[in-house]
Amino acid sequence: MTSVHYSPTHLREVAASVKEFEAAFRDFMAMHEENTFARGILPAVFRRDGVDDEEYLAAQRRVELASGRAATSTAITAVRYAVQGAGVVDPIAAWATVTQPKPVLEPANILSACGQALGRLESKIAEAEAAAVPAIDAEQMHPLVWGAARAMWRDGHYRQAVVGAAEALVSQLKARTGRNNVAETSLWQQTFSAQPPTAEQPRLRWPGPSDDRTTKSMNEGLRLLTSAVQLTIRNPATHSSDQLTLIEASERLAVLSLMARWVENCELEQADEDGGGSD
């Protein structure tokens, strides 16, 4: 199985969530005193006398939220503890056990895990940045393409990001032509056909005089390119379970972005009442 590669942006977001959790946990622990007797039986910490109930619950809530946001860090960094009788423990998910009888971990274990996770994330960020040097800046691509790809891309699921972007492009084509009754490859071919539009089949045309060489070239190129992109980028990414590398996915996303810009610039040509074409 191909390992998952995470983008520098996503890894920085995960690191920020770990820092947020660590700070919230420290603030919460400041409301407690360390247990110095019956360790392993009683909770690792006891709530200090005089701590306001409302402030205590608010601090606890902040840790709970921060723990949820930092949950993905464990899978990425593999920072876990092997605890006798409890198995392998996720220290961020198990933070609350320090306030419960027979705690699985001590506060020092939680804080140590945060430090280790941040260190490993720093290394992974450096590796991801080095690997991403030749890659295209995905965030600068066409909004339709990047909007559909963003979530999967930031999680390192590059093939799924490409699929999402390609599907968004097809959905836009269906919306512009009002057609949802034909297979996608055929839809591209029919939409950019050189034949005049019909009542059932509107066309997309590159703007400009029909006898202009550039206009002719763009229309002919779009006839070939659009269906080819469907066949060579969307279909293989959809039907395969193999992951794409960062650079492979960047190349594909760039093609989809360019195609989205060109399609967006095209004008819709529909059949008039006499059966001819009209804008």
Least confident range of 115-119, 152-156, 260-264? 152-156
Say if residue 278's pLDDT is above 60: no
Residue 273's contacts (CB-CB under 8 Å, 6 or more residues apart) are: none
Provide the β-strand partners of residue 278: 270
Query: How many CA atoms does the CB half-sphere of 30 hold within 13 Å?
Result: 10
Taking only the tens place, the pLDDT of each residue in 77-92 is 999 999 888 899 999 9
CATH 2.60.120 for domain 138-278? no
Mean pLDDT of the chain: 90
DSSP state of 87: E
Q: Can you tell me the distance from the alpha carbon of 234 to that of 252, in angstroms, rounded to the nearest whole number?
A: 9
Taking only the tens place, the pLDDT of each residue in 16-59 is 999 999 999 999 999 999 998 877 789 999 999 999 999 999 99
Q: What is the pLDDT of residue 2?
A: 45
Say if residue 229's pLDDT is above 80: yes
Residue 97's contacts (CB-CB under 8 Å, 6 or more residues apart) are: 103, 104, 105
Residue extents of the structural domains in the chain: 8-131, 138-278
How far is residue 261 CA from its own chain's centroid? 22
pTM: 0.53
Say if residue 1's pLDDT is above 70: no
Q: Are 89 and 104 in contact (CB under 8 A)?
A: yes
